[in-house]
């Protein structure tokens, strides 16, 4: 029975990328998704697995790889980057970098985050990857690591590709966005409306392509995009009352539509849902059977705090389900994962957390195990006779 229940729960959990909510809400858009950033819970989705051109939302991955290299100490915000002829040649949104000049990396990152500069994006890619083609390889490698199963990157800008298939999905964009917002600098830059960066002989003005940061409460990012093929796109993030949401809109017809749809989607999330700490780290589950252990009953503790997002007014319908590892046998080491606790609502799994053994349990000796088996057999025999 436990094995069957575990299989059912895990199958359900594997489909968390499909929204468990949103049936009372819809958007007239080609593809969209709304996710709570910390838990990853999907609050709304529409065609979120459909491969589509992402335009400049591509630059989320460009920024992510750069921030990771800074975190590792392989490059710094103060590093100077030499601009190549290829970076200079980029069209579309740009700050008109000149080949041979040297620009501080932080200024390039700000130019990408705020103004979506294609030339700055290429310069960053070449500085991080050594060569542009190697950086594209790193982008696809990172996408694979993040589980972005329906994504192929052909460039670091999102500009149309004449030969190739540059695409991603709303859901895959969420995966890389959740990683990028871990860097406070990105949210700091993403909150800036107008800024200036110093280039050789002149200043370049950066105007944020995401106008919602001026009008939508709590918004501090993340990345706009537009090409004729992709339409108007926006991966946005906002935080209110200790809950951060990430939304993605792909294929809007106008810039105004993109903004209005994003605002509606985020409003739905903030108004219809709340987030609570449901299980605390160290909270215990008791009376766990270990039939072949020297000690036959033990406890487990919750591995980490578990926050859950749910529809307002429905907290009372949340249920806790404990499922032990189907191969759970002694010996057991303290701290070993021996099962999971699921938070379930109306048949849907909202979240899960590992349960850890609170003590070492040695395996019982052969004689003890045989004696227990005999006693159990006798008990079952008597029970059968009485029935």
Active centre residues (catalytic): 56, 59, 116
For 58, list phi and psi in degrees, rounded to 5: -50, -35
């Amino acid at each position: 029975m436990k094995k069957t229940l575990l299989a059912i729960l895990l199958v359900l959990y594997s489909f968390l990328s499909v929204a468990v909510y949103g049936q009372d809400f819809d958007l007239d858009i080609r593809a969209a998704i709304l996710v709570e950033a910390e838990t990853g819970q999907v609050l709304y989705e529409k065609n979120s697995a459909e491969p589509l051109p992402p335009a400049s939302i591509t630059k989320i991955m460009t920024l992510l790889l750069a921030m990771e290299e800074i975190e590792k100490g392989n490059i710094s915000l103060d590093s100077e980057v030499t601009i190549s002829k290829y970076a200079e040649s980029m069209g579309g949104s740009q700050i008109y970098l000149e080949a041979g000049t040297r620009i501080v990396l932080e200024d390039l990152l700000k130019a990408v985050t705020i103004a979506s500069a294609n030339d700055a994006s290429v310069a960053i890619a070449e500085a991080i990857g050594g060569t542009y083609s190697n950086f594209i390889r790193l982008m696809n490698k990172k996408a694979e690591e993040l589980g972005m199963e329906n994504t192929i990157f052909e460039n670091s800008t999102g500009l149309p590709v004449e030969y190739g298939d540059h695409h991603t999905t709303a859901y895959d964009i969420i995966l890389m966005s959740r990683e990028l917002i871990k860097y406070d600098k990105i949210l700091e830059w993403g909150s800036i409306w107008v800024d200036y960066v110093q280039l050789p002989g002149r200043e370049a003005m950066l105007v944020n392509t995401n106008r919602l940061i001026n009008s939508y409460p709590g918004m501090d990012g993340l990345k706009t995009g537009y090409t004729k093929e992709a339409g108007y796109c926006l991966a946005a993030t906002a935080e209110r009352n200790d809950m951060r949401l990430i939304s993605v809109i792909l294929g809007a017809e106008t810039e105004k539509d993109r903004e209005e749809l994003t605002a509606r989607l985020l409003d739905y999330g903030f108004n219809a849902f709340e987030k609570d700490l449901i299980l605390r780290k160290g909270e215990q589950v008791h009376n766990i059977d270990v039939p072949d252990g020297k000690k036959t009953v033990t406890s487990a503790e919750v591995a980490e705090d578990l926050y859950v997002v749910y529809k307002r007014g429905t907290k009372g319908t949340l249920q806790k389900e404990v499922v032990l590892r189907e191969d759970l046998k002694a010996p057991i080491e303290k701290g070993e994962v021996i099962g999971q606790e699921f938070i379930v609502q109306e048949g849907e799994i909202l979240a899960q957390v590992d349960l850890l053994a609170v003590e070492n349990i040695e395996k019982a000796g052969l004689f003890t195990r045989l004696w227990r088996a005999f006693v159990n057999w006798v008990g079952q025999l008597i029970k059968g006779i009485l029935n």
